[in-house]
Copies of this chain bind each other. A is one copy, B any other.
Amino acid sequence: METIEAIDVRNEHWSIDEWSHRIDKLLDGESATAVFNVDEHDTREYDAIFLGGGAGGRFGSAYLRAMGGRQLIIEKWPFLGGSCPHNACVPHHLFSECAAELMLARTFSGRFWFPNMDGVTTSIKEMVDVFKRGRVGPHAIMNYQSKEQLDLEYVVNAAGRVIDAHTVEVAGRRFRAKNLILGTGARSATLDVPGKDLKGVYTYESIVETLDYEPSETVVVVGGSKTAVEYGSFFSATGRRTIMVVRTQPLKLLPDGETRHYAVTRMKEEGVDIWEGSNVVEIEDDGTGRVRAVKIQTPGGIERVETNFVFMALGEIPNSEMPVATLGVKTGSKGEILVDEHLRTSVPDVYAIGDLIGAPMEMFKARKSGTYAARNVMGESIAYRAADYPDFLHTHYEVTWVGLGEEEARERFREVIIIKMPPDSPDGWNVGLPASDRTMLYAFEKMPKSGFQKLVIDGGSRKIVGAHHVGYGARDGFQYLAVLMRQGLTIDQMGDFDELFLNPSHFIQLCRLRAGARQLQNL
């Protein structure tokens, strides 16, 4: 049993600010001090130990505690909340905001109050540093909120070791519980090519931890899905030649072809250099252990690109090795722990949640699977399976969708009605609509950049079966739109809503223009 320092914070009531300072020190790694927030006076057995205090563990714990149960989170990092605020969704949002703002600044370079951006490369490292300086704030809020507002018990800054389905050891202490809920997340996959471990090869995790130089004027991004596109768009927006090496095509996850075409066309216009049907085959060492160049197999042969910066975004691998080794839980083909609809693993009293159970590795699923596991542990018998959910990603824009693309809708329904903006017209994209949040200047001065949006409707039932948006400000709405679509939302109901004009998605008013007709028509 390893010896580790420990402090008991149960009777401390640190402010958010105080937590910030404490977490900063623990992250600096000066000491391996486990932080115990455990109620020694509570004699009840724990209903569940959550191994991992990320989104699933924290939300599951909050729900279980609110139901009157007793829980314990064990988390290796010195904070709750998991990878999202530490290296995943929060930095991604910061960098995507930079991408959007830089596109605006470059579009209006030297005009109005915008600086002249011709030939200007902005710093990647500076924005990474902004993130690193500030990320402890959200961390502190999680610890503060979880302790002072949600009344959770937790041990942080110490890795838990599973002894059996009811026992976890942490920092020299053993804790027993009626159930064990595994939520240890996932990590970035990397490409197994020569040079993959050189300095200069990053994932979204390592870039925020270890980037200590300014990437060269050319950078290479490997992959074509969400993370690749989000970071690639940011790198490109800084003014760098950004080559995206994509095995097949980028953004295949977008269900609507026309929307995908719009999004990809704008990325290309902004300078992202997309190499389809290509693979990185080697990363060259400069002789000092750093990246010097990348060799890429393209449809036209091997190309060599000089760069000191390679970003890999090839998906996620569940961190299932430890529970598999100690408990023998069953896993699927991608290493994900297999669970039933009650989030139960193959081992009695052991549940698994979050990214650890595989796709979709999204925040809502992590959090909801945590709360559903908690409810099952507390005696409810309640099923959860992520389905019919909205989704989004960032290019320089925010891209949001829910339901079917036009293509799949045409396979399923006899009559498909399309309502979109801008309209099909002889002038193509050269119209000043759509226009709304953050696209007003584009709508007036650079019309094709003002966005694209589309509704897919089953003409027979009049139900809205798909919605797609490229622009800004539609994401919150899609959360609720998804709920209404599950209720069977029709064009007639949509057309009777109260729009807040200029609404980022013009769906309500466009539906109203057509809803009067028995036989629906495109718009």
Residues of chain A whose beta carbon lies under 8 Å from any beta carbon of chain B? 15-17, 59, 62-67, 84, 89-90, 93-94, 96-98, 100-102, 104-105, 112-115, 117, 120, 122-123, 126-127, 130-131, 133-134, 137-138, 140-141, 144-145, 149-150, 362-365, 367-368, 371, 374-375, 386, 389-392, 398, 400, 422-423, 425-427, 430-433, 435-438, 440-441, 443-445, 447, 472-484, 495-505, 508-509, 512-517, 523
* Given A472-B473, A512-B59, A513-B150: A134 in contact with B484 (beta carbons within 8 A): no
Question: In the complex, which of the residues B104, B115, B117, B514 contacts A101, with contact meaning CB atoms closer than 8 Å?
Answer: B104
- Name 5 A/B residue pairs within 8 A (Cβ), A-sorted: A89-B502, A113-B117, A137-B431, A392-B500, A400-B500
User: Would you call B15 and A426 a contact (CB within 8 A)?
Assistant: yes
Smallest beta-carbon distance A87→chain B, Å: 14
Minimum-distance CB pairs A-B, first 8: A66-B516, A476-B477, A137-B432, A480-B480, A134-B444, A363-B501, A66-B517, A63-B516
CB-CB under 8 A from A90, the residues of chain B are 435, 502
Smallest beta-carbon distance A292→chain B, Å: 29
Which of A113, A444, A472, A496 counts the most B-chain CB atoms under 10 A from its CB? A113
Q: How far is the CA of A123 from the CA of B137 in the complex (A)?
A: 37
Smallest beta-carbon distance A104→chain B, Å: 7
CB-CB under 8 A from A63, the residues of chain B are 512-513, 515-516
Question: In the complex, which of the residues B15, B117, B363, B484 contacts A499, with contact meaning CB atoms closer than 8 Å?
Answer: B363
Closest to A386 in B: B498
* Given A63-B516, A475-B500, A516-B67: A141 in contact with B445 (beta carbons within 8 A): no
Question: In the complex, which of the residues B144, B432, B504 contacts A475, with contact meaning CB atoms closer than 8 Å?
Answer: B504
Q: How far is the CA of A104 from the CA of B516 in the complex (A)?
A: 43
New A-B contacts (6) at CB < 8 Å, excluding given A17-B430, A145-B523, A479-B499: A16-B430, A62-B514, A112-B122, A114-B115, A137-B431, A137-B444
Question: In the complex, which of the residues B101, B443, B500, B517 contacts A479, with contact meaning CB atoms closer than 8 Å?
Answer: B500
Smallest beta-carbon distance A387→chain B, Å: 9
User: Would you call A483 and B482 a contact (CB within 8 A)?
Assistant: no
Smallest beta-carbon distance A280→chain B, Å: 30
Smallest beta-carbon distance A86→chain B, Å: 13
* Given A363-B501, A374-B516, A432-B141: A59 in contact with B479 (beta carbons within 8 A): no
User: Would you call A523 and B475 a contact (CB within 8 A)?
Assistant: no
Smallest beta-carbon distance A312→chain B, Å: 23
User: Would you call A16 and B473 a contact (CB within 8 A)?
Assistant: no
Smallest beta-carbon distance A178→chain B, Å: 17
Q: How far is the CA of A263 from the CA of B15 in the complex (A)?
A: 25
CB-CB under 8 A from A365, the residues of chain B are 498
Which of A368, A374, A504 counts the most B-chain CB atoms under 10 A from its CB? A368
Closest to A493 in B: B483
CB-CB under 8 A from A508, the residues of chain B are 364, 479
CB-CB under 8 A from A98, the residues of chain B are 112, 441
User: Would you call A127 and B112 a contact (CB within 8 A)?
Assistant: yes
CB-CB under 8 A from A66, the residues of chain B are 513-517
CB-CB under 8 A from A140, the residues of chain B are 431
User: Would you call A16 and B113 a contact (CB within 8 A)?
Assistant: no
Closest to A148 in B: B425
Smallest beta-carbon distance A290→chain B, Å: 27
Question: In the complex, which of the residues B390, B437, B484 contacts A483, with contact meaning CB atoms closer than 8 Å?
Answer: B484
Q: How far is the CA of A505 from the CA of B127 in the complex (A)?
A: 24
User: Would you call A138 and B433 a contact (CB within 8 A)?
Assistant: yes
Smallest beta-carbon distance A502→chain B, Å: 5
User: Would you call A512 and B367 a contact (CB within 8 A)?
Assistant: yes
Q: How far is the CA of A475 from the CA of B94 in the complex (A)?
A: 21
User: Would you call A427 and B479 a contact (CB within 8 A)?
Assistant: no
Question: In the complex, which of the residues B17, B100, B398, B484 contacts A480, with contact meaning CB atoms closer than 8 Å?
Answer: B484
CB-CB under 8 A from A499, the residues of chain B are 363-364, 367, 479
Smallest beta-carbon distance A132→chain B, Å: 10
Q: How far is the CA of A520 from the CA of B84 in the complex (A)?
A: 27
User: Would you call B112 and A472 a contact (CB within 8 A)?
Assistant: no
CB-CB under 8 A from A123, the residues of chain B are 112
Question: In the complex, which of the residues B368, B440, B505 contacts A498, with contact meaning CB atoms closer than 8 Å?
Answer: B368
Smallest beta-carbon distance A429→chain B, Å: 11
Closest to A120 in B: B113
Which of A65, A398, A497 counts the most B-chain CB atoms under 10 A from its CB? A497
* Given A105-B113, A480-B477, A516-B371: A144 in contact with B425 (beta carbons within 8 A): yes
Closest to A441 in B: B97
Smallest beta-carbon distance A167→chain B, Å: 26
User: Would you call B97 and A440 a contact (CB within 8 A)?
Assistant: yes
